[in-house]
Amino acid sequence: MVAAAVAAKNGKRVTLLTLGAGTLTIGGGIIDVLGYGDEGVPLATPRAGLLEVGPEHPYKKIGPVAIEESLRFFKEICAAEGYPYLGSLDEMQWVPTAAGTFKPTCLIPKTMDTTQLNSATNVVVLGFEELKDFYPHLITKNFKNIPGFQDKNYEMVMIDPGLADGRDVTALDVARWLDTPEGLQDCIKQMSTRLKPDSVVIIPPVLGTRPDYVIADSLAQALSCTFVETAAVPPSITGFRLRTMLLSYVKKLGVRIVEQAAVARSIVENGKCTAVVTDGIDRERTYYAKAFILANGGFYGGGLVAEPGHAQEPIFKLPVAAPEDHELWANPNLFSNKPQPFAKIGVAVDETMRPLDENGKVVLTNVFVAGRNLQGYDFCFEKSGNGVALASGYQAAMSMDREIK
Amino acid sequence: MQKATVVVIGGGITGVGVLRDLCMRGVDAILIEQQDLAYGTSSRFHGLLHSGGRYAVKDEEAGRECIEENAILRKIGKHCVEETEGFFVRTLLDDESFEPKWLAACAKVGIPAIPITVAEARRLEPNLSAKIQSVYRVPDAAIDGFRMVWQNVASARTYGGRLMTYTTVIGIEQSNNQVVGIKVRNTLTGEISNISCDFIVSATGSWSGQIAALAGITVNVQPDRGTLIAFNHRITSRVINRLRPSADGDIFVPNGSITILGTTSSAVKNPEDNIPSTKEVVGLLNIGEAVFEDLKSYRMLRAYAGTRPLYSADPNAKGRGASRGFVTLDHADDGLTGFISVVGGKFTTYRLMAEKVTDLVCQYLNVKTACRSAFESLVDDPSPELMARARGCFPSYGADLAASRLGATGLEKVVERMQEQPEKRQLVCECENVTLAEVEEAAADQTSFMLSDVRRKTRMGMGTCQGAFCTFRSVGAVDANGLAWGQDTKTLFQEFLQGRYKGIRPILWGNVIREMELSRGIYEGTLNINGVINHATK
Amino acid sequence: MKKHHNNPDSCTACTVCIAHCPVTAATNQFRGPKMVGPALERMRLSQEDVEPSLEYCSNCKNCDMSCPSGVPISTLNMLARAKLFKTRKHSKRDYILSHGEQAAKLAAMMPFGAALANMGMDMSRGILKMIGISDKAPLPPYARASFIKQFKALRQQSYPDKVVFYPGCFINYNDPKVGMDFVAVMQANQYEVIVESDLVCCGSPLVVNGFLDEAEANAKINIQILKKWTDQGIPVITCCTSCGLMLKQEYQELFHIEGVEEYAKHLYDAGEFLLELYDKGRLNTNFGTLNEQYMYHAPCHLRAQGMGLPGLELLELIPGLEVKDVDAGCCGISGNYGFKDDKYDIAMKIGAPLFAKLKESGLSTTISECGTCRLQIAHGAQVKTLHPMTVVRKAYEKYGK
């Protein structure tokens, strides 16, 4: 969506073909730029980490200037949509998670700002009755093992969203409860009998599903407390908000979105792509364009397909390097101080974000690649998922603007 | 010091069968298992309750034993057995001349093999390839190994049976050529202790040689490794066998919501050799394709491997040649009284093996009680009233599954928990329909020390997402319950997910790699359970 | 997307469908698409049981559209529903709502039948509520003369280029003007429209209530008739997006009928077809200027067809016309779902953000291709509604004036 937004702002007529709603509601709405270096050493700042990335890493191809610009562009979107994010490359944000850990990230909604949390002596961990994927006791216990958090006093509070009469409850259900005026009032009422003013409160990400701070501000004002949302398992509410915000922005720019579009192949002439073809259940449809940005994800999203001993990019048939011996795809241990080889499999690109063959030559002059289908980084290990997506999406569109007339 | 009349070493199906039979005959017995129950072959086999058709040609006695025990197990363990029946299917690649030989052998042994047309077979099992040549129906069934092990234990417990898991035997104590006890080490705490006993039964499968060696005795068990693949859904509702001389990848077995394809065969030195290779997996898929043409497009869940304990008095007979029949070795013949090893055999004949062993032990102990293990059900059926209450508490498709797993006593406890605290009706595992109440019961059992132990009792984490969601929920539940073993949650996460990963790593492509990326995204990306936290307060 | 496996194999339990399901957002009684669809499907293959919340799925297709794994979630739900009704009786309510075609045909046969039937419907809302049809839902009245009747009375200009029009029950019995507008638009493009009066209900209302065998019987009839034309390369056009989805997609997902893949290639939505004419330079672009403003609502069943929003794009060609996409999700009615007494409130809750946005716009009329969407929008937002073909016809007629 960022790529589409950039292209549209540069005056292009953009069509966005998508199969599925994207994975933002899985991965979450915070922008991880870079949290860990090699060997799993935590970085002091994202900027420090960017200096250290290897030559294959997408950040190396994109370059520090464009990365910085992409963050600035993202913040412009947030400002325009009324949902500002905090953070910069010069500060690592350590945000709390539902597992009682902290994770390093870069840009966050203000509901995840931990400034007050860090200096607080008393912390409330607030859960909701029936809510399945949030365990205050787990969080409290694990916080007590974290340097700087061992000496705080913790209290657990439970609020009842009145959802006991239905299905198993997710954070999305609680967030939607708070979306309603009745729900918000009920919550404030319950909280006012349980929370003292000036408390710092850890809560699951339930401060509404809309990309704004209306609910967060209402609660903060009504109770004079600071609420800090945690990162949590899917469905991710922060991701939901981010997606809503980006969609709203790109639609305002006149980007045409075609849903349920399964792009199956491309039509290439003389090293240039002239069209892509979707394979619908009824028939094929051909979309002609001057340039194409491939941002359809990695193995998960379907942008890359894995077979025993090889991987492929199905639309443009771009070369993807993968070990023939499938035993080399994965470390013996799931978690270790090394990234996973299979996570780094992808398409090689140059600084223009165009795909390269085995000899380093550009394969298609008007195709640009962005996101997880890029080679050279393990976003789970180093905490760089949305950051690479943002920066590469931005750079792919900017580069396209420069290269394609 | 702990005491027992008989120590049974080995918590696989044979061991728990022996424990049960001994206890039913009034003998005081304790079972020692080095990891969790069914750690060895009993959790890594095909899940097939043999009609015997596979052994009819080469091993008549084994074939006969199978068909008889098959009928018994369906009665006593009816909640562990799914009456799926089986097909023997000949493909174009299979030698035609084997078919009449096989039919004759089945007839001789008494295994019904009824011919049906290919069209009819495909009507019953639409996924079967159109190219198959002939089909026969046989009384195969599917068996849930974990469940049968646990239900034997449940039965043994009602007769006073005891067990210790995560306990390994490090020495056999003898005096005057007579067994007096064993020395054990708790593998979780490192604590060493002694158990005095009059008798030791080693039902240790592929480890039989190692255990016997503790007493200086040689037992020639040759571990033979077999790899299997679990598929995400029921490709077939019947067992499908290849009608050819036994070879790799011959059998598909439905098992609850999944299907298992296996297996391979290779001699290994180490009984712990249970990591499948990608090569073996690809090999199995290539073979299985002849029966189910779309096999490679079906979603796999995991691959796993176990070792068959092949025994032969002749130390050089290997692989499928060595007998699959079983042998009871009375080591009085080797100079030590009070020590028996039972070796060889297969899951289907465990009860018979246990009966023979127990007969021998009882002879020594002068216990005259007759064996009743073939007549008494492993667990009681839940009453209609209990089932009605259960159906009111469990979500859809949950009550019968839990009833089969737990039996009447176990189900009663879970239902009570759900009735007292309705929030415990939540699903921890949405893929396999396992409720919080059941997870809590399983976690509180004295043999649960980690999440994988809970998994083996409940099927949590064994479905489509392979723990992507239920890991987090079960850590939360265990922590909330204040269980002693739930203190270090990072270890809980890692142990469980690494266990799942072990079976995923050899098949990391297609939808499996997608699920892995999702899991990593959640636990590493979002929850950062493994990362160093260098949180500097501002 | 060619081969729809009716198995839940690709599901990774990611929860994206849950996040985008409008019914899940509106009621906590529905256990959500992931659970009711692919998760329980694995159980259904080995157990008999009933999931009580299966009836909440409205078949709106938002789950299918959001799934990153290509799982046909709503199809799994529909098939599960059909399986359920093999051993369970249908309610009168479901029977009536699914067999609208039969009732309409009866009404059409009598003189003044439509008017009488409409009167009867108005008077009997109380009775209908007793059997489970909401007394508040916007049950559509019958038109005085069906589309087919009006079409037969029309004298069309004959042209070598032809299309077959599949009106569907709603246009035929309730909103025939849309069909006539479509014919006029095609004529303005020098196409002759063929109408086969033996075509039957596409089956969509039958499928959602578990009458799968009947839907399949209808499918076979329709395919047999339409194939005559598609085999000759003559396209079949629909103006109702639910009919379109059913004819070209769900017939493939739900049934195994010979030749269906081939025939589907020739099925078009009206807006889509006209846009393709435009791409080829064949479209009559003699549009008059319409200085008008409208809101546009994209039916879920249109979005699910993977062709974007052709109606909206087509309207952009009309000079002076301003059409804004309200972009507010599902209207809630999803076929006959919103007519059910126990689902009416859910349907209205689903559509509430849409109605609010339409009211906020201050524009009195909303354009949408789906007949039941139009009913629901008129009911919930108190605005007038139009089909794109009506506006296009108006533009043609305004030309030169």
pLDDT in tens, A68-86: 999 999 999 999 999 999 9
Instruction: Report yes or no: B426 at the C interface, CB cutoff 8 Å.
Output: no
pLDDT the model gives residue C6? 54
Q: Which of A368-377, B314-323, C219-228, C353-362 has the lowest mean pLDDT?
A: B314-323
Q: How far is C100 from chain B (nearest CA, A)?
A: 32
Asked if A371 reaches chain B (Cβ–Cβ under 8 Å), the answer is no
3-state secondary structure of A72: helix
pLDDT tens-digit readout, B402-422:
998 898 999 999 999 999 999
CATH at residue A340: 3.50.50.60
Looking at residue B39, its pLDDT comes to 87
Torsion angle defined by CA atoms of residues C31, C37, C43 and C48, in that order, rounded to the nearest 10 degrees: 80
Contacts with B, A 319-348, CB within 8 Å:
325-327, 329-330, 332-335, 340, 342-343
In sequence order, what DSSP letters do the residues of B433-482 get, joined into one string? TEEHHHHHHHHHSTT--SHHHHHHHH-TT-STTTTTTHHHHHHHHHHHTT
In a shared domain, residues A266 and A307: yes
Supply the Cα-derived Rg of chain C in whole angstroms.
Answer: 21
pLDDT tens per residue across span B369-396: 999 999 999 999 999 999 999 999 999 9
Closest CA to A206 of A219, A194, A196: A219
3-class SS string, A130-144: CECCCCHHHHHHHHC
Asked whether residue C251 falls in the same domain as residue C309, the answer is: no
Q: Give pLDDT, residue B252.
A: 97
Task: Give the number of other CB atoms < 10 A from CB of residue B191.
Answer: 10
Single out the residue in C215, C247, C279 at which a domain terminates: C279
Give the pLDDT confidence score for residue B400 in this predicted structure: 92
Instruction: Tell whether B298 lies on the interface with C, counting CB pairs under 8 A.
Output: yes
Q: Do C378 and C297 share a structural domain?
A: yes
Same domain, A323 and A391: yes
Count Cβ atoms below 10 Å from residue A10 Cβ, excluding itself. Answer: 13
CA angle B371, B375, B379 (to 5 degrees): 110
ipTM confidence score: 0.96
More confident site: B40 or C123:
B40
The B81-82 sheet, strands edge to edge: B48-49, B141-143, B81-82
DSSP, res B322: S
Distance from CA of B232 to the nearest CA of C (A): 7
Are C182 and C258 part of one and the same domain?
Answer: yes
- A89 domain residue, yes or no: no
Cα angle B315, B320, B323; round to 5:
60
Q: What phi and psi values does residue A386 have, to the nearest 5 degrees?
A: -70, -25
pLDDT of C218 higher than 70: yes
Question: Which pTM value belongs to this model?
Answer: 0.94
Q: How many CB atoms lie within 10 A of CB B406?
A: 27
Q: What's the rounded mean pLDDT across residues B274-291? A: 95
Closest CA to A336 of B531, B515, B471: B531
Optimal mutation site among B81, B125, B231, B233, interface C, most CBs of chain C within 10 A: B233
CB B530 within 8 A of CB B537: no
A21 touches chain C (CB under 8 A): yes
C-alpha dihedral, C48 to C51 to C56 to C59, nearest 10°? -40
Asked if B90 and B199 touch (Cβ cutoff 8 Å), the reply is no
Q: Are residues A397 and A274 in the same domain?
A: yes
CATH of B82-142+223-307, one of 1.10.150.390, 3.30.9.10, 3.40.1160.10, 3.30.1490.20: 3.30.9.10
Which residue type sits at B18?
Answer: V
- Supply the pLDDT for residue B324: 60
E-assigned strands of C105-175?
162-166
According to DSSP, residue B17 is labeled H
A275 and C CB contact within 8 Å = no
Local confidence band at C46 (pLDDT 50, 70, 90 cut-offs): confident
Q: Which residue of C has its CA nearest to A285?
A: C307
Region(s) of chain B under CATH 3.30.9.10: 82-142+223-307
- Runs of H (alpha helix) within A13-99: 24-27, 46-52, 58-62, 64-81
Q: How much of chain B exceeds pLDDT 90, in percent? A: 81
CA distance A234 to A26: 5
- CA gap B474, B461 in Å, rounded: 10
Is the Cβ pair C15, A259 closer than 8 Å? no
Q: CB under 8 Å to B242, separation ≥6 — which residues?
A: B88, B89, B90, B91, B94, B249, B250, B251, B290, B291
Tell me what the mean pLDDT of segment A243-257 comes to: 96
The pLDDT, as a whole number, for residue A383 is 97
Is the confidence at residue B105, as pLDDT, over 60? yes
A21: DSSP letter: S
Q: What is the DSSP string of C191-248?
A: -EEE--TT----SHHHHHTT-HHHHHHHHHHHHHHHHHHHTTT--EEESSHHHHHIII
Asked if pLDDT for residue A240 goes beyond 80, the answer is: yes
Print the domain residue range for A149: 98-230
Indicate whether C112 and C59 sit together in one domain. Answer: no
Structure tokens that stand for C316 in this block: 């952009």
CA angle centred on B329, ends B325 and B332, rounded to 5°: 170
Chain B: touching chains (3 or more CB pairs < 8 Å): A, C
A131 and A177 inside one domain: yes
Residue B233 and residue C35: Cβ atoms within 8 Å?
no
How far is residue A293's CA from residue B190's CA, in Å, rounded to a whole number? Answer: 58
State both tokens at A212.
């704004």
| Token duo for residue A152 | 């705080």
Same domain, A385 and A322: yes
**Percent of chain A whose pLDDT exceeds 70:** 100
Give the mean model confidence (pLDDT) for residues C7-36: 94
Percentage of chain C surpassing pLDDT 70? 98
Q: Give the residue range(s) of CATH 3.50.50.60 domains in chain B.
A: 2-40+146-220+324-365
Q: What's the pLDDT at C5?
A: 46
Binned at pLDDT 50, 70 and 90, residue C71 comes out as very high
pLDDT by residue (tens digit) across B4-60? 999 999 999 999 999 999 999 999 999 999 999 998 888 888 999 888 888 888 888
Sheet of strand A153-159, all strands in order from the earlier edge strand to the far edge = A153-159, A122-128, A200-203, A226-229
C29 Cβ under 8 Å from any chain B Cβ? no
Q: How far is it, in rounded angstroms, from Cα C102 to Cα C200?
A: 10
Query: A320 - beta bridge partners?
Result: A347
The confidence band for C2, taking pLDDT boundaries of 50, 70 and 90, is very low
pLDDT of residue B317: 53
* b/e burial code for range B53-65 (CB count within 10 A of at least 16 → b): bbbbbebeebbbb
CA nearest C254: which of C72, C79, C57, C58? C79
Q: Number of CB pairs < 8 Å for A and C?
A: 114
Residue C8: per-residue pLDDT: 74
Pairing of strands C365-367, C293-296: parallel
Q: What's the pLDDT score for residue B28?
A: 97
Same domain, yes or no, for C236 and C164? yes
Distance CA C264, CA C249 (A): 8
Residue A39 lies inside a defined structural domain of this protein: yes
On whether the CB atoms of residues C67 and C106 are closer than 8 A, the answer is no
* Kind plus residue range of the DSSP H or E element containing B274: none
Q: For chain C, how many structural domains are there in total?
A: 4
For residue A127, which of A43, A229, A27, A35 has the smallest C-alpha distance?
A: A229
List CB contacts (< 8 A) between A165 and chain B.
none
CB contact A256 to C (< 8 Å) = yes
CA distance B239 to B224: 23
pLDDT digits (tens, 9 = 90+) for B67-103: 889 999 999 999 999 999 999 999 999 999 999 999 9
Mean pLDDT on C42-46: 87
The pLDDT, as a whole number, for residue C213 is: 94
Strands B192-196 and B258-262: unpaired
Grouping H, G, I as helix, E, B as strand and the rest as coil, residue B194 is: strand
Question: Of A233, A337, A386, which to mutate for an interface test with B (greatest number of B Cβ within 10 Å)?
Answer: A233
Are both A387 and A266 inside the same structural domain?
yes
Q: Could you give the number of structural domains in chain A?
A: 2
pLDDT at position B61, please? 81
Angstroms from C308 CA to nearest CA on chain B: 28
Q: Which of A304, A374, A265, A21 is nearest to B513 (CA)?
A: A304
Q: Which of C25, C31, C264 sits opposite A167 (nearest CB)?
A: C31
Shared-domain flag, residues C242 and C356: no
Residue C226 buriedness (CB in 10 A; 0-12 / 13-18 / 19+): buried
Among A204, A230, A256, the domain boundary falls at A230
Distance CA B48, CA B55 (A): 13
Place of tokens 């004759």: B104
- If asked whether residues C111 and C194 sit together in one domain, one would say no
pLDDT surpassing 70 at residue B320: no
The residue-averaged pLDDT of C286-315 equals: 96
C157 and C272 both lie in a single domain: yes
CB C290 within 8 A of CB C321: yes
Tokens of B84: 């799926």
Q: How many angstroms separate the CA of residue B473 from the nearest CA in chain C? A: 15
Please provide the DSSP assignment of A253-287 as one string.
Answer: TT-EEESS--EEEEEEETTEEEEEEEE-SS-EEEE
Contacts of B152 (CB under 8 A, 6+ apart): B13, B16, B17, B19, B20, B378
- Residues of C in CB contact (< 8 Å) with A are 1-2, 4, 12, 14-16, 18-20, 25, 27-32, 35, 53, 64-70, 248-249, 252-253, 264-265, 267, 303-308, 313, 325, 327
If asked whether residues A105 and A51 sit together in one domain, one would say no
Q: Do B524 and A133 touch (CB under 8 A)?
A: no
pLDDT at A303 over 80: yes
Residue B525 has pLDDT above 60, yes or no: yes
DSSP string, B149-171: HHHHHHHHHHTT-EEESSEEEEE
Instruction: State which residue of chain B sits closest to A99, comparing Cα positions.
Output: B527
Q: Which of residues 456-495 of B touch A (CB under 8 A)?
A: 469, 472-473, 475-477, 479-480, 489, 493-494
pLDDT band at B536 (very low <50, low <70, confident <90, very high): low
Residue B240 to residue C378: CA distance in whole angstroms: 58
User: What separation in angstroms does the CA of B425 have from each of B388, B419, C62, C134, C308?
Assistant: 15, 9, 28, 33, 43
Task: Count Cβ atoms within 10 A of the Cβ of residue B381 and give its class: 0-12 exposed, 13-18 middle, 19 or more buried.
Answer: middle
Find the helix packing angle between B399-420 and B145-158, rounded to 10°: 50
Which domain does C72 fall in, by range? Answer: 16-84
The top-level CATH class assigned to B2-40+146-220+324-365 is alpha beta
Both tokens of residue B468? 């992507």
How far is residue C312's CA from residue B495's CA, in Å, rounded to a whole number?
A: 54
Task: Please choose, from the candidates C117, C111, C182, C176, the residue with its C-alpha nearest in 3D space to the C-alpha of residue C150.
Answer: C176
Residue of A nearest to B531 (CA): A40
Interface of B with C in 496-515 (CB under 8 A): 511, 514-515
A335-354 mean pLDDT: 96
Q: Are residues C253 and C166 in the same domain?
A: yes
